[in-house]
């Protein structure tokens, strides 16, 4: 039987809000229910979007909520050498190429669309395998994905994507020399022996690309479970862009109880007065994500803090 290793991988672009806490709680409960290991990895790949002190704030918040991780916290900003080695391997095998296309060039190449959806990359630079003398990104070629790439998600069922017609060759290293999320997540999930990934449904669309990259690199594919997105009163996903409030650490037990309720675990009312550790232990024993199957969004509860 495969050992269970899960992870929570926040980006330090701001403090945790209820939606991100719910993801942390669900991934933690899934790991502990299966007698597994739960890791925390800081996805600090994009310095321009990061907020100073956010990483430390996230870790202290997790600790206050009793979400104690196993092992040391890994920071993606410290793993650039490993990502570069993976990219050079893909370039050597002809599975990646240098791309000098600008956004303007790609826009001119694509027909006008009613919806603001990026068209598939047309393969303009696919034969460019030597570093050019001007700024470039590096793309992974999907020409080998002649059939739809599918995953069997624990919550959302079978999800398929035709990478050639829906996505096209996608970026794994940006022109600003920053590594792309898909590349870093795949490399680190492999390096950390991640067997199960519990994360938000907003990342479901990314998963076939990651699965394809895993196949090219000969990596195992984790079991995926994509949670419903948490929305506010206007139906918007809780995020920094929608001004989601940071969760308080003054009454963690009450907020944790709300999280278990939102996950439809039906915790007893008396549990909200217990310690965070006791609440999480109850949640791990009661954990069952069946109520979340085929659910794509859930409403954020109204959280009030009594002082």
* Alpha-carbon Rg for the chain in angstroms: 20
Tokens of 66: 């009793």
Let me know if the fold of 5-75+222-299 is the same as that of 80-184: yes
Identify the weakest region by mean pLDDT among 91-95, 275-279, 297-301: 297-301
CATH superfamily of 80-184: HUPs (3.40.50.620)
The strand pairing partners of 198, in sequence order, are 225
DSSP type of residue 11: -
196 φ, ψ (degrees, to nearest 5) = -140, 135
Minimal CA–CA distance to 192: which of 84, 71, 88, 44?
71
Let me know the angle formed at the C-alpha of 149 by 201 and 144, rounded to the nearest 5 degrees.
Answer: 140
pLDDT digits (tens, 9 = 90+) for 64-108: 999 999 999 999 999 999 999 999 999 999 999 999 998 877 776
Tell me if 227 sits within 8 A of 23, measured CB to CB. yes
Name the pLDDT band for 116 (thresholds 50, 70, 90): very low
CATH match of 5-75+222-299 with 3.40.50.300: no
pLDDT digits (tens, 9 = 90+) for 232-264: 666 556 566 655 688 999 899 999 999 999 999
- Angstrom distance (rounded) from CA 218 to CA 112: 38
Tell me if 197 sits within 8 A of 6, measured CB to CB. yes
Write the CA distances from 266 to 167, 231, 270, integer angstroms.
40, 20, 12
- For the chain, domain boundaries: 5-75+222-299, 80-184
pLDDT digits (tens, 9 = 90+) for 129-138: 899 999 999 9
- pTM of the complete model beyond 0.85: yes
DSSP symbols for 199-213? EEGGGGGGHHHHHHH
């Amino acid at each position: 039987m495969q050992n269970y290793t899960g992870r929570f991988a926040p980006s330090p672009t701001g403090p945790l809000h209820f939606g991100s806490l719910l993801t942390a709680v669900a991934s933690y409960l899934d790991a502990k229910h299966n007698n597994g290991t739960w890791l925390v990895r800081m996805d600090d790949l994009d310095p321009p979007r990061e907020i100073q002190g956010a990483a430390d704030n996230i870790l202290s918040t997790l600790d206050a909520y009793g979400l104690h991780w196993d092992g040391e916290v890994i920071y993606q900003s410290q793993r650039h050498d490993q990502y570069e080695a993976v990219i050079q391997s893909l370039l050597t095998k002809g599975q990646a190429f240098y791309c000098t296309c600008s956004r303007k060039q790609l826009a001119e190449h694509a027909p006008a669309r009613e919806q603001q959806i990026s068209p598939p990359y047309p393969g303009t630079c696919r034969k460019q395998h030597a570093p050019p003398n001007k700024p470039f990104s590096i793309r992974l070629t999907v020409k080998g994905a002649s059939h739809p790439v599918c995953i069997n998600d624990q919550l959302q069922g079978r999800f398929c994507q035709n990478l050639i017609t829906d996505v096209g060759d996608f970026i794994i290293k940006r022109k600003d020399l920053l590594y792309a999320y898909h590349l870093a997540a795949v490399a680190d999930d492999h390096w950390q022996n991640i067997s199960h990934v519990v994360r938000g449904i907003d990342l479901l669309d990314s998963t076939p690309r990651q699965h394809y990259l895993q196949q090219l690199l000969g990596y195992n594919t984790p079991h995926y479970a994509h949670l419903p997105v948490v929305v506010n009163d206007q139906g918007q996903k809780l995020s920094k862009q929608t001004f989601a409030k940071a969760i308080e650490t003054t009454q963690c037990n009450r907020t944790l109880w709300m999280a278990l309720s939102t996950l439809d675990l039906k915790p007893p009312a008396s549990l909200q007065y217990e310690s965070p550790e006791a609440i999480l232990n109850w949640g791990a024993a009661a954990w069952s994500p069946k109520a979340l199957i085929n659910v794509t969004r859930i409403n954020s509860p109204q959280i009030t803090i009594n002082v």
